[in-house]
Amino acid sequence: MAHDLEYSTSSFLRIATLEARRGHDDPGQLFTSVNETINDLRDLHKERRKATGLASNRADARAVYNSYRTRIGDLQKVKRECLENELRLVGVEFSQAMKAKEFTWGLSPGPQKKNRNTYQTAGTAIQYFPMKQLESSLRKDFKIVAPNRNRMIAQLRDAIAGKMPRSVLRSDISSFFESVPHVGLMEVLKGEGRLSRTSIYLIEQLLTEWRTLTGRDCGIPTGVGLSAYLAEVYARQVDQSILRDPRIHFYGRYVDDIVVVLRSRHDLDDMVTILDKRLADLGLSKNDNKTQRVEAKDDNNFDLKDTFDFLGYSFSKNTHEGEVRIEMNDQSKARYKHRLTCSFNRWAAAANRAGGNEGLLLNRIRFLAGNTKLVNSKGRALTGIYFNYPHLSVDSNSLRELDNHLEGEIVRVQSFLTENLKNRLDQISFSDGFKYRIFNRFSQNELTRLVAVWRD
């Protein structure tokens, strides 16, 4: 099989450049020769920052900064030349493997996460670059856009707000990744006629390795980046059929989480039946344990009888004025409480609490109750109590509950606290972190150390 031009040295070089610019791990690290130059560049940048910081004034600092440009530019040129040479070899190796039909993803079991099995492909360049190109092809050919959680929550809030007797069906697809049928998935991928023969072959190879590993002819490997795109392509069939129903006021799906807002409370039973049938036609089923049916109280009352959860939030509408109240759901609050408790437990168990651990405890609580920019992420993404939950209602009960839990943790270990440390902890508040969008700055090494305590 002759491989397509999309799987060429030039496309692999484009991928390496884009991944590095996005703040992801530099793919050049897969090659020893390139990695040496990456380390040299990193050291030179550190040296420039240090030298610039020692300058006595702004003009001198600018001069020092500019003096490194030639050396850095020369190293970047060396890096690119080394990368091009390595990728040329990868392109040849990939082409030969495809022609001989000997290409393999090296699929194997990965670590368990949240009691779920994950999988991984071999971590070499001949798997990495074709995988990234295949993901790019799926995004482009099927016009896949990453789901926007914040936009969906805002749309859902607006859909149920107001003085109309809406009703809500909330559900998710049961064991979604593990249930996608291979025959149905390949019919969709081939039926669209957009993907190249090489792309189709590579997807079939991944499914073949999955069947060999698991003995199952349905399911896609959780943990492999490509699987998210395959799942999205398949799940769109659910969207297309449901969105045509005129009784629907709003429909949203975030991966396998589904929410439907109906114009009338009398249509809930029909919609449950429709969803069940459509999922069954696709070899899928809804998770009955996570399905919520929430009706308007009656045709003349626009309040909802119960709350419902979606994407980490809990929604209610019971003010008789059509106002929607949004809180964190119980699972989200429990996660924050667990992390608070873990932070205090780790500090209390430290052999030398004063030996730098006081600052570590303070930073962990500040991280949880505040906001920060994630370094080494695309666009330096914002995270924290506000940016993770920006749609919480004013005077959120959830934030007060977390503040109360924090106060309880401080009281629990107060016999170990110095007066200074207790006073500084008392000043930290989830409510303030949300309201004033308080930011904290942490380096990548600091962040890694902070979050390790609740990932152990």
Average pLDDT, integer, range 363-380: 83
Please report which helix (H) or strand (E) contains residue 402, including its range. Answer: helix 397-412
Please list, in sequence order, all residues whose beta carbon lies within 8 angstroms of the beta carbon of residue 147, skipping any fewer than 6 positions away.
Answer: 254, 255
**pLDDT the model gives residue 166:** 87
Average pLDDT, integer, range 340-359: 79
Q: Alpha-carbon distance 18 to 90, whole Å?
A: 18
Q: Is 378 a residue whose pLDDT tops 60?
A: no
Q: Alpha-carbon distance 159 to 392, whole Å?
A: 16
Contact 72/30 with Cβ under 8 angstroms? Answer: no
Average pLDDT, integer, range 53-77: 93
Q: Alpha-carbon distance 173 to 279, whole Å?
A: 8
Q: Alpha-carbon distance 440 to 372, whole Å?
A: 5
Contact 235/252 with Cβ under 8 angstroms? Answer: no
- Residue-wise pLDDT for 75-120, tens only, equals 999 999 999 999 999 999 999 999 999 999 999 999 988 788 999 9
| Residue 218 or residue 56, greater confidence | 218
- Residue-wise pLDDT for 126-135, tens only, equals 999 999 999 9
Work out the mean pLDDT of the chain and round it to a whole number.
Answer: 91
**SS3 at position 142:** coil
| Residue 356 or residue 174, greater confidence | 174
Using CA atoms, how far residue 23 sits from 27, 31, 75, 138, in Å, is 11, 18, 19, 22
Average pLDDT, integer, range 307-316: 96
Q: Is 198 a residue whose pLDDT tops 80?
A: yes
**Confidence tier at 450 by pLDDT (50, 70, 90):** very high
Q: Is 227 a residue whose pLDDT tops 50?
A: yes
Average pLDDT, integer, range 342-351: 85
Please list, in sequence order, all residues whose beta carbon lies within 8 angstroms of the beta carbon of residue 451, skipping any fewer than 6 positions away.
Answer: 367
**Confidence tier at 148 by pLDDT (50, 70, 90):** very high
Q: Which of 266, 267, 278, 280 is nearest to 242 (CA)?
A: 278
Strands (E), 190-241: none
Check residue 434 and report its DSSP letter.
H
> Which residues in 170-183 are b (16+ Cβ under 10 Å) and which e?
bbbbbebbebbebe
Q: Is 377 a residue whose pLDDT tops 80?
A: no
Q: Is 2 a residue whose pLDDT tops 50?
A: no
Q: Burial of 456 by CB count in 10 Å (0-12 exposed, 13-18 middle, 19+ buried)? A: exposed
Contact 144/234 with Cβ under 8 angstroms? Answer: no
Q: Alpha-carbon distance 274 to 276, whole Å?
A: 5
Q: Alpha-carbon distance 423 to 191, whole Å?
A: 65
Whole-structure pTM value: 0.89
Minimum mean pLDDT range among 3-7, 299-303, 387-391: 299-303
**pLDDT the model gives residue 407:** 98
Q: Is 351 a residue whose pLDDT tops 60?
A: no
Q: Alpha-carbon distance 209 to 444, whole Å?
A: 36
Helices (H) and strands (E) in the chain, counts: 18, 13
**pLDDT the model gives residue 50:** 92
- Residue-wise pLDDT for 388-431, tens only, equals 999 999 899 999 999 999 999 999 999 888 899 999 999 999 99
Q: Alpha-carbon distance 191 to 194, whole Å?
A: 8
Quote the distance between the C-alpha of residue 360 and its chain's center: 26
Q: Alpha-carbon distance 337 to 341, whole Å?
A: 6
Please report which helix (H) or strand (E) contains residue 316, including its range. Answer: strand 313-316
Q: Alpha-carbon distance 228 to 437, whole Å?
A: 32
**Confidence tier at 1 by pLDDT (50, 70, 90):** very low
**SS3 at position 309:** strand
Contact 258/275 with Cβ under 8 angstroms? Answer: yes
Bridge partners of 168, per DSSP, are: 261, 294
Q: Alpha-carbon distance 173 to 256, whole Å?
A: 5
- Residue-wise pLDDT for 252-298, tens only, equals 999 999 999 999 888 999 999 999 999 999 999 999 999 999 998 77
**Confidence tier at 174 by pLDDT (50, 70, 90):** very high
| Residue 354 or residue 324, greater confidence | 324
Per cent of the chain over pLDDT 70 is: 95
Helical axes 9-21 vs 125-141, angle rounded to 10°: 80
